[in-house]
Amino acid sequence: MKMTFRWFGEGNDTVSLDYIKQIPGVEGIVWSLHDLAAGEEWPLERIEEVKSQADKHGLNIDVVESVNIHEDIKLGLPTRDKYIDKYKKTIEKLGRVGVKVICYNFMPVFDWTRTDLFKEMGDSSTALFYEKAIVENMDPMELVNTISTNPDFTMPGWEPERLAQLSKLFDAYKDVSEDDLWNNLHYFLEEIIPVAAANDIKMAIHPDDPPWPIFGLPRIITGPESLRRFVKLVDSPSNGITLCSGSLGANPINNVAEMIREFADRIPFAHIRNLKRYENGDFIETSHRSKDGSVDILEIMKAYHDVGFIGYARPDHGRHIWGEKCRPGYGLYDRGLGIMYLWGIWDSLERYKGETKNVIN
């Protein structure tokens, strides 16, 4: 397992490369060019600049998260080909500097969705929170009207530029079914997977977060059945999965450890995080410790160890603790603690090979 840590760039993050380098076992950063809009071709000089910054700290840039996909590709519009061509050129440039994995998602309009960025947890820490009733009862058109009269309005996890186009996007998706989205994803993969393979890069789709439809928009990467369908769209080692325990674990019917074992040869990148589910469908993100949440991180790490996982992993979202002011979900302290918890499990499994049942029970 190759441990990494997400970094949002110089001047765009409170977590410096020097701090990341001090976390035991971290080999590289998970990065992106966050200021570039979806659909733009990435300039080689910008890519090389990030590599130079990481090299100075002895960190690799093997994993990119994300090269975002333009909505015209998801919608299957005639203009998609020009954006796919730019995507191919970006893949080629990333291959030239040694990138090995590109994480992306195919969620319409919104990426991850939460209703509270800093929900109190009862111990002075805060975390990302999803209240199901708020999302289910929110009329998208009322939201559009709110935005039109209040340009400063925002919602957790929703980029301002997307909010500004919300009415247009909802209208564009009104007749798009799940099958349509699957077909558009298939078209995209058939175009880009050969380019990724030629450049020794594995594409790794991120599951939908949360893994169910919101606001009437289709969501298609939600559990084992959809992952089986996905890997068959283009049967190539370069067509892979970012196995996110938090996204998939939000749905209690998903057994994440079983999915790791089933799709082991198609997981180049792992997001490992925990959350606590409530019976009404709400959930809050917790520490990585198994006992603190509803996702069995111990069993997940055992599954990765059992399959001989040699891909990349990172501690995903963490709490905000010790008064840290940070990007929601991406504090240094709790993710650093998370890494040490994950390494503790992994090292124990390594030490007691052949006796792993006794180690985790």
Report residue 138's pLDDT band, with 50, 70 and 90 as the boundaries. Answer: confident
Rounded CA-CA distance 48/9 in Å is 13
Q: Which residue has the tokens 């080909």?
A: 81
What mean pLDDT is reported for the chain?
Answer: 92
The catalytically annotated residue of 70, 206, 288, 320 is 206
Gap between the Cα atoms of 186 and 191, Å rounded:
9
In this prediction, residues 126-130 reach a mean pLDDT of 95
pLDDT for 163 beyond 70: no
> Is 320 annotated as catalytic?
no
Give me the pLDDT at residue 167, please. 75
Whether the predicted pLDDT of 89 surpasses 70: yes
Structural domains present in the chain: 2-107+177-274+295-360 (3.20.20.150)
Q: Tell me whether residue 83 is one of the annotated catalytic residues.
A: no
Among the listed residues 83, 104, 130, 330, the single catalytic one is 330
Q: What are phi and psi of 132, to 5 degrees?
A: -60, -40
Return the minimum-mean-pLDDT range out of 153-162, 201-210, 298-307: 153-162
Would the pLDDT of 64 be above 80?
yes
Q: Give the pLDDT confidence score for residue 306 in this predicted structure.
A: 97
Which of 70, 83, 87, 244 is an active site residue? 244
% the chain with pLDDT above 90: 78
pLDDT above 70: residue 119: yes
Task: Choose, from 317, 320, 334, 341, the residue flagged as catalytic.
Answer: 317
Does 132 have pLDDT greater than 70? yes
Residue carrying structure tokens 């917790």: 286
For residue 128, pLDDT over 90 is answered with yes
Cβ-proximal residues to 185 (8 Å cutoff; 6+ apart), any chain:
74, 106, 220, 230, 233
- Model confidence at 154: pLDDT above 80: no
pLDDT of amino acid 153: 57
User: Can you give the pTM of this predicted structure?
Assistant: 0.93
Indicate whether 318 pLDDT > 70. Answer: yes
Please report which confidence band the pLDDT of residue 162 belongs to, taking 50, 70 and 90 as the band edges. Answer: low
Residue 330 catalytic? yes
* Residue 165 pLDDT exceeds 90: no
Active-site choice (13, 72, 271, 304): 271
Average pLDDT over residues 227-244: 98
Please pick, among 209, 296, 316, 334, the residue that the annotation labels catalytic: 316
Going along 151-294, which residue ranges are E strands? 202-205, 239-244, 269-272, 275-277, 283-285
186 is catalytic: no
Q: Residue 110: is its pLDDT beyond 90?
A: no
pLDDT in tens, 258-311: 999 999 999 999 999 999 999 999 999 999 999 999 999 999 999 999 999 999
Question: What is the rounded average pLDDT of the residues 16-44?
Answer: 95
Block residue for tokens 């998706």: 173
Q: How far apart are CA 127 and CA 160, in angstroms?
A: 22
Of the listed ranges 30-39, 98-107, 164-173, the least confidently predicted one is 164-173
Active-site annotation holds for 85: no
Q: What is the mean pLDDT of residues 145-173?
A: 66
In sequence order, the β-bridge partners of residue 271 are 244, 314
At residue 246, does pLDDT exceed 70? yes
227 CB contacts (<8 Å, ≥6 apart)?
A: 221, 241, 259, 262, 263
pLDDT at 307: 97
Q: What is the mean pLDDT of residues 73-93?
A: 98
Cα angle vertex 104, ends 170, 166, to 5°? 15
Is 244 catalytic? The answer is yes
